[in-house]
């Protein structure tokens, strides 16, 4: 493994501020619970971690996620502290707890953007997915409160075998709600999502082609996340990379996740520990842990993703590979057969 070169800071650090959540979503990675577990990072530990993150230059953006971050009593203080340290603070919520006052307070704490989760285009489908009657109406109310507070928000949608055919309608809804962006996430079979119906590699490929074909006509900022093959598919279709041309899988390469107990991971769906912020600085973990070093080193990859000419822009989902038994192994939901060996690029 190569460890000699200097490592750029991550662009994004997602912190699972708490596993507590008021909903019981069918796809929940965190298998969230109603009450926060006792071993979550304390207020002081969180401040210390934010201080360490702020030492990175350029500073990463920090996503306050969960669980449901608005269930954490000190969330606004933490957002405010991060802002005061020069960090761009983002907050990811299911939207049901947003009130006019909270929207104004989040803006006051310097939160730069809020993401809300929409997983069905109507009350029946969204409420079923989210496990709470009324979640759909609450989300729409939350969006209105954010709009009134002048706080930028985006809509995140997890696409599954069940709601894939409604993706276009949900993008249209996102525009109607006044969101700044629509980010779609392709289901990763972790946590409760492990029991959900999965697409085959061919169905997945066809779905991404349809979405990529539609992308140039969209009137809203659109991003496909955790669908690493999206860039490869775009190139094969002769379409431009669009506004979001970054690498497909960002785990350990521009992105990291910190769990509610301080465990650093490549992403929230890849349940392998790179070390704890309770024991080391987050900077040291990102730069030096064997897990992150391996994720960044093409030569450690096994199977077709390591051999693939698209490794630099894709890399395959390491979490889906891990669910098959080897986090450095081939992405199971990609039918592409590489044309060249390690070192070649498309
Ligand atoms: S391993 Fe990569 S593509 Fe897969 S869920 Fe994590 S960041 Fe997304
Ligand atoms: S083989 Fe792996 S790296 Fe290549 S396009 Fe498929 S998922 Fe991406």
Ligand 1 atom closest to the CA of 227, numbered from 1: 3
Ligand 1 atom closest to the CA of 228, numbered from 1: 3
Radius of gyration of the chain (CA): 19
C-alpha 46 to ligand 1 mean position (Å): 24
Pairing of strands 275-276, 263-265: antiparallel
State the pTM of this model: 0.92
205 in ligand 2 pocket by Cβ < 6 Å? no
C-alpha 189 to ligand 1 mean position (Å): 11
**Short-list 63, 178, 159, CA closest to 114:** 63
On whether the CB atoms of residues 346 and 229 are closer than 8 A, the answer is: no
Task: Report the nearest-CA residue for atom 2 of ligand 1.
Answer: 249
Phi and psi angles of residue 309, each rounded to the nearest 5 degrees, phi first: -70, -10
228 in ligand 2 pocket by Cβ < 6 Å? yes
Task: Report the nearest-CA residue for atom 6 of ligand 1.
Answer: 267
Neighbouring-strand partners of residue 115 = 92, 154
Task: Note the ligand closest to the C-alpha atom of 303.
Answer: 2
Q: How far is CA 28 from CA 13, 67, 285, in A?
A: 19, 9, 26
What is the best residue among 63, 249, 334 to mutate for testing ligand 1's pocket, by most ligand atoms within 8 Å of CB? 249
What does the alpha-carbon distance between residue 113 and residue 56 come to, in Å, rounded to a whole number?
21
pLDDT by residue, tens only, the chain of 346 residues: 444 578 999 999 999 999 988 766 666 655 666 778 889 999 999 999 999 999 999 999 999 998 899 999 999 999 999 999 999 999 999 888 999 999 999 999 999 999 998 999 999 988 887 778 888 999 999 999 999 999 999 999 988 888 888 999 999 999 999 999 999 988 777 766 666 667 788 988 999 999 999 998 999 999 999 899 999 999 999 988 777 778 999 999 999 999 999 999 999 999 999 999 999 999 999 999 999 999 999 999 999 999 999 999 999 999 999 999 999 999 999 999 998 655 555 6
């Amino acid at each position: 493994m190569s460890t000699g070169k200097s490592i750029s800071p991550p662009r994004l650090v997602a912190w699972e501020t708490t596993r507590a959540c008021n909903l019981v979503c069918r796809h929940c990675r965190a298998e969230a619970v109603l009450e926060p577990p006792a071993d979550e990072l304390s207020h002081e530990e969180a401040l210390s971690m934010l201080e360490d993150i702020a030492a990175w230059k350029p500073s990463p953006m920090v996503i306050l996620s969960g669980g449901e971050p608005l269930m954490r009593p000190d969330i606004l203080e933490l957002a405010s502290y991060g802002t005061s340290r020069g960090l761009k603070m983002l907050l990811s919520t299911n939207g049901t707890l947003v009130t006019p006052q909270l929207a104004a307070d989040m803006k006051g704490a310097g939160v730069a953007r809020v993401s809300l989760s929409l997983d069905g285009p109507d009350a029946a489908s969204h409420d079923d997915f989210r496990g709470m009657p009324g979640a759909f109406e609450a989300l729409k109310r939350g969006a209105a409160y954010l709009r009134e507070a002048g706080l930028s928000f985006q809509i995140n949608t997890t696409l599954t075998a069940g709601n894939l055919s409604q993706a276009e309608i949900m993008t249209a809804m996102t525009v109607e709600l006044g969101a700044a962006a629509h980010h779609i996430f392709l289901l990763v079979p972790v946590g409760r999502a492990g029991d959900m119906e999965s697409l085959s590699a061919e169905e997945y490929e066809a779905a991404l082609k349809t979405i990529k074909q539609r992308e140039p006509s969209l009137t809203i900022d659109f991003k496909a996340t955790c669908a690493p093959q999206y860039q490869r598919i775009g190139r094969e279709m002769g379409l431009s990379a669009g506004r979001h041309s970054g690498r497909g899988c960002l785990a350990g390469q521009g992105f990291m996740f910190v769990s509610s107990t301080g465990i650093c991971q490549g992403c929230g769906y890849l349940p392998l520990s790179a070390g704890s912020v309770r024991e080391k600085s987050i900077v040291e973990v990102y730069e030096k842990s064997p897990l992150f070093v391996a994720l960044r080193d093409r030569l450690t990859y096994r199977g077709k993703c390591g051999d693939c000419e698209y490794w630099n822009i894709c890399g395959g989902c390491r979490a889906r590979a891990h669910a098959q038994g080897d986090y450095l192994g081939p992405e199971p939901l990609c039918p592409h057969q590489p044309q060249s060996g390690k070192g070649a690029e498309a």
